[in-house]
Chains A and B, each alone.
Chain A
Amino acid sequence: MNPPSTFQIFQKIPTVLPQTVTILSLIFLQLSALGAPVRPSGTIGYLQQLNEEDWILKAEALHYLSENKVPEALESILKITKDEKERSWIRSKALVAYCKIQNGQDIPQILSTFASSSDQVLREGAAESAGLIKENKGMEILLKLTTDKIKSVQLRALASYSRIMGEKAWPLAQKMTESITEELIPLAVESLALVGNKDAFERLKELTKSSTNKRPLVESLDRSKSPKAVPVLLDLLENTSTDDANYAYIISALSKNNNEILSSSLKDLIRTGRDSALFAAARIITILFQDPNLGKELLSALTTSTAPETLKTVMIALGSKEMNPDSNKEFFITHLKNETPEIKVLSIRCLSHCTEANLYTLLKETIKDNESRVSIAAISALMETPLEDAPTGELVSYLEDVLVSTDNVIRKAAFELLGHAGNADDFEPALAMLGEALSGTDTVRREAVAEALGSIAPDNGIANVARRQGYVSNWMVLGTFLNDKEHKAFANELEPEKGIDFEKTYPSTYVWALQGNQKRDGEKPIEREIGWSEASVNKTNGMLMMGPLLPPPGTFSIAYAVSDFNSEKDQDLFLSLDGDDAFKVWLNGEKISEQVAPYLHRQSCVASQGNIKIKLKKGKNRILVKSANIEHEWWIRARITDANNKPLELF
């Protein structure tokens, strides 16, 4: 069986261990509290895990216990090294773990045994372990293993030797890495990275280029922990496609290096000016390491021949908040005029991260771009811009092109921006420009315009927007009368239904009830006199919200709403009604609709009836609505249109 890679081992860990580790960690905490020696969290679990049959679990425990140098593990680990029924690879790893934990100058007997074993895997373990013995006491074994009959054992020993000797290992490394087969390149690379002199790196680069299997190569470079491996890793990255699975692996290896080394190596990479180098550097900056100084290097390395893909990647790197995008503002502004729409969009996004840029000024032309995605990106960026930057009173003319755009998406975004950034000063110009949409038959557009206008309308402008859409906007309201959950009062004829007299007052009773329960102990019915009052719809979607108009709490209540209006002639039109919870409607004294929505506790209960054919007479007409509410929201809405759904302004 081939030995598992580190990757395979760690793939399995998360699914196996968390619960065990958590429980054991708790036990550990309790032991700590009792005065037991402090051990890394999870130690007990990993000690037990050494006895698992599963080699992955065992290998993972060896890794953890050796990394944390847990002395209690020594005995069990030694037992594994001696277990001849155990896999050689695990025994070999156990020896390495043993020497790491022991961290001393004594050569364990088992190490000598492994070094002279006929099993190649055990000898490889000995080669790795001998380098861990302090005071170079393992040197003799190492040097012997560098002459082993098997090349992989030799190179493993060379890596350990190089780790100890550094540049002094070059003569031996030079000889041993002269002629290497492809599968052994990673081991040779590790040695050369550990030697770290100029000659070693020249050879390392050559070997790297001739290797087709990048994963073990990256592992070796990573394992060497040599700062000199960073340029090699960057070189590998530059020549690896972003779709390649090794790409993330290389970045992961790079992430283990300190910022200073990374920054200096990135600078060198950028200064080559190669497109692929800039691309790689920009990716690293975006993913791993944000340093504004590198941004300057990136900018100065760009040329007119830089490929769009690279330019995009550089922009993404420069636009992040950590890279001080304000210092690159001019660069982004320049590219607002780039011929590639994607670059324009990126420029907009980068500019939106600049704190010192007034986007309304910068995007004045871009917002009108022929490419809809550019225009929409500009509008979206303006949505995030401080409101004080918006051109007060001139927002409508600023947005003129997009507000009347033929592209629905752009138009909708523009309406939203108008509603968001506009104020009462923009209302009249907006109404003049967009008013036509309010009386149109395109419902989606009408509602979007109405919502935008509603956001910027002064208090007295709301009803006007509603009226132009055909909603009954001015009412006389009377309430409240007592209702109940069964809508008994709604079913019965109450005084106002017998004749409307706006001067008259009516006795009414109500019970204060909030919990959906009218029969709370101690709450007595309250008597009062109520009269008619004027009211206008308070939403541009035509809703007349009853709650704010009538005495609280508005639960279990009945109210009446009346609107008088003139028709120039006798005509047939259509009335649409809705309301929460129930309504009855009379037109000129004739009942034309009655709808009751099923009661839902704490939810909207909307009743509706659309397109009721009505006959208006020439002159004054009267619509009377009886509206009932049990709890929660309470509103009514009425709209009159012609046969083509075009609203009529009758009110």
Chain B
Amino acid sequence: MKLITLTFAIISALALGNVNAQDPPSQSVGVARLTPEVRTAISKGLEYLSKEGSQRADGSWGGDQNRVAETSLTLMAFMLQGHVPGRGQYGRNMENAISFLLNVGQNQRGYLGTPKNHAGMYEHGLAVLALSEAWGQSKNPRIKSALTRAVDITLRAQNKEGGWRYSPEPRDADLSMTVMQIVALNSASEAGIAVPQTTIDKAAEYVLSCQDQGSGGFKYTAGGGEPNFARTAAGVMSLIMCGQRNLKATQRGIAFLKAFPESKFKSTNHFHYAHYYAVQSMYQSGDADFRAWYPKISAEIIGKQNKNDGSWSGSYGQAYGTSLSILILGVPYRYLPIYQR
């Protein structure tokens, strides 16, 4: 499935002699057309990310604490528009980013979290996601072995309730971290890395245990915390990834997201994080939901773009805000396997 989609994307780009893929050949592959405005915003964002000074010499983006996370997100942002590592306009940026991630893994026996980041498993998950998407596009032969080792760490870090938390060991769990690992494992599995179904099933069980029975929203942990928009978006997306799209619990979550006040499009806690999952949830939910959702969030995101340099501000800096904004806007590109229905 993954390879077919990626191959289609690449072949399409080649057929039109547009390896750079700044304007992919078909903007109507998604259920919602990408407006010229959206395409321009994404392109400007990618230009910002590729600018000298944005990417570090070691191939990473972002501050010292979250470099793996920001690099992974940025790499995915480039791939979203069909750019290929090692080729074309951003090929070198992407190859350097992949090398950075691989080096982190090599130095830490497969673990991909930034060493000083106490919530390193989040980064680990994002890096697995990015490398899984990159595998098949990049010619770097180290990706597969790095992914295999990283996935092995993830599998071993699942706790007895089925969840994950900050560090790569099977102790406690929270929804946010668990969702990250589910998304990562799903992508790795699509990429051909063996992921036991029992791991996914247990993870889904954990996510379900975090659902608030009263509202249908999702809480931070099974035992506590209030449901909110961001957690519910993450919970719904992960259940869909676990193959539970038609589950009543998932449908309740989607209803929660839709019914949440419209102010969610303007500002909500963990804005980029929340909408990264929410827009995918709506995409997976079906055409009608996505058509109702996407124009609102895309308009809001475009409104937040820095018109001077094409960047977006985010909770963890420009690379974070810019890459996630692109990933939210670019869902209709449908090039990344994670967006497939």
> Which residues of A line the B interface, CB within 8 A?
512, 514-516, 522-524, 526, 545, 547-548, 551-555, 602, 629, 631-634
Q: Which of chain A's residues have a CB closer than 8 A to the CB of B226?
A: 514-516, 602
Q: How far is the CA of A634 from the CA of B214 in the complex (A)?
A: 6
Give 17 A-B contacts (CB < 8 Å), ordered by A residue. A514-B227, A514-B228, A515-B226, A547-B214, A547-B252, A548-B216, A548-B252, A551-B259, A552-B217, A553-B227, A553-B256, A553-B259, A631-B214, A632-B212, A632-B214, A633-B214, A634-B214
- Given the known A-B contacts A523-B261, A523-B263, A602-B224, are A514 and B248 also in contact in the complex, defined by CB atoms under 8 Å? no
Q: Which of chain A's residues have a CB closer than 8 A to the CB of B227?
A: 514, 553
Q: Which 6 A-B pairs have the closest CB atoms?
A: A553-B215, A552-B256, A512-B261, A552-B259, A547-B214, A554-B214
Q: How far is the CA of A555 from the CA of B212 in the complex (A)?
A: 11
Q: B263 to A555, Cβ gap below 8 A?
A: no
Q: Which of chain B's residues have a CB closer than 8 A to the CB of A514?
A: 215, 217, 226-228
Is B260 part of the contact surface with A, judged by Cβ < 8 Å?
Answer: yes
Q: B213 to A545, Cβ gap below 8 A?
A: yes
Is B299 part of the contact surface with A, judged by Cβ < 8 Å?
Answer: no
| A/B pair count, beta carbons within 8 Å | 56
Q: Which single residue of chain A is at the shortest CB-CB distance from B251?
A: A548
Q: How far is the CA of A547 from the CA of B212 in the complex (A)?
A: 9
Among B228, B252, B263, point to the contact of A552 (Cβ < 8 A): B252
Q: How far is the CA of A26 from the CA of B341 in the complex (A)?
A: 55
Q: Which single residue of chain A is at the shortest CB-CB distance from B229?
A: A514
Q: B263 to A522, Cβ gap below 8 A?
A: yes
- B215-249, CB < 8 A from A: 215-217, 224, 226-228, 248
A545-B213, A629-B214 are known contacts; what are 11 more A-B pairs with Cβ within 8 Å? A512-B261, A514-B217, A514-B226, A516-B226, A551-B255, A552-B217, A552-B256, A554-B216, A602-B226, A632-B213, A633-B214
Among A512, A515, A522, A554, point to the contact of B260 (Cβ < 8 A): A512
Q: Which single residue of chain A is at the shortest CB-CB distance from B212?
A: A632
DSSP class of B's interface residues: helix, strand, loop or mixed? loop
Q: Which single residue of chain B is at the shortest CB-CB distance from A523?
A: B261
Q: How far is the CA of A333 from the CA of B229 in the complex (A)?
A: 56
Q: Which single residue of chain B is at the shortest CB-CB distance from A632?
A: B214
Q: How far is the CA of A466 from the CA of B228 in the complex (A)?
A: 33
User: For the side of the interface on B, what is the size category?
Assistant: 10 to 19
Q: Which of chain A's residues have a CB closer than 8 A to the CB of B212?
A: 632
Q: Which of chain A's residues have a CB closer than 8 A to the CB of B259?
A: 512, 551-553
Q: How far is the CA of A545 from the CA of B259 in the complex (A)?
A: 19
Q: A554 to B215, Cβ gap below 8 A?
A: yes
Q: Which of chain B's residues have a CB closer than 8 A to the CB of A554?
A: 214-216
Q: Which of chain B's residues have a CB closer than 8 A to the CB of A633?
A: 213-214
Q: Which single residue of chain B is at the shortest CB-CB distance from A548?
A: B252
**Interface core residue of B214, B226, B255 (most chain A CB under 10 Å):** B214
Q: How far is the CB of B184 from chain A (nearest CB, A)?
A: 28
Q: Which of chain B's residues have a CB closer than 8 A to the CB of A522?
A: 263
> Which residues of B line the A interface, CB within 8 A?
212-217, 224, 226-228, 248, 252, 255-256, 259-261, 263
Q: A552 to B261, Cβ gap below 8 A?
A: no
Q: A548 to B248, Cβ gap below 8 A?
A: yes
Q: Which single residue of chain A is at the shortest CB-CB distance from B256?
A: A552
Q: Which single residue of chain A is at the shortest CB-CB distance from B215?
A: A553
Q: Which of chain A's residues have a CB closer than 8 A to the CB of B263?
A: 522-523
Q: How far is the CA of A522 from the CA of B228 in the complex (A)?
A: 16
**Interface core residue of B212, B213, B215, B224 (most chain A CB under 10 Å):** B215
Q: How far is the CB of B233 from chain A (nearest CB, A)?
A: 14
Q: How far is the CA of A633 from the CA of B263 in the complex (A)?
A: 26
Q: Which single residue of chain B is at the shortest CB-CB distance from A630?
A: B214
Q: How far is the CA of A516 from the CA of B212 in the complex (A)?
A: 14
Q: Which of chain A's residues have a CB closer than 8 A to the CB of B255?
A: 551-552
Q: A547 to B215, Cβ gap below 8 A?
A: yes
Q: How far is the CA of A234 from the CA of B261 in the complex (A)?
A: 76
Q: A547 to B224, Cβ gap below 8 A?
A: no
Q: Which single residue of chain B is at the shortest CB-CB distance from A526?
A: B261
Q: Which single residue of chain A is at the shortest CB-CB distance from B227?
A: A514
Q: How far is the CA of A413 from the CA of B215 in the complex (A)?
A: 34
Q: Which single residue of chain B is at the shortest CB-CB distance from A522?
A: B263
Q: Which of chain B's residues have a CB closer than 8 A to the CB of A515?
A: 226
Among A545, A548, A553, point to the contact of B217 (Cβ < 8 A): A553
Q: How far is the CA of A487 from the CA of B268 in the complex (A)?
A: 29
Q: How far is the CA of A48 from the CA of B260 in the complex (A)?
A: 67
Q: Which of chain B's residues have a CB closer than 8 A to the CB of A547?
A: 213-216, 252
Q: How far is the CB of A229 from chain B (nearest CB, A)?
A: 41
Q: Which single residue of chain A is at the shortest CB-CB distance from B263?
A: A522
Q: B216 to A552, Cβ gap below 8 A?
A: yes
Q: Which of chain B's residues have a CB closer than 8 A to the CB of A602?
A: 224, 226
Q: How far is the CB of A635 from chain B (nearest CB, A)?
A: 9
Q: How far is the CA of A258 from the CA of B226 in the complex (A)?
A: 56
Q: Which of chain B's residues have a CB closer than 8 A to the CB of A634?
A: 214
Q: How far is the CB of A637 from chain B (nearest CB, A)?
A: 15
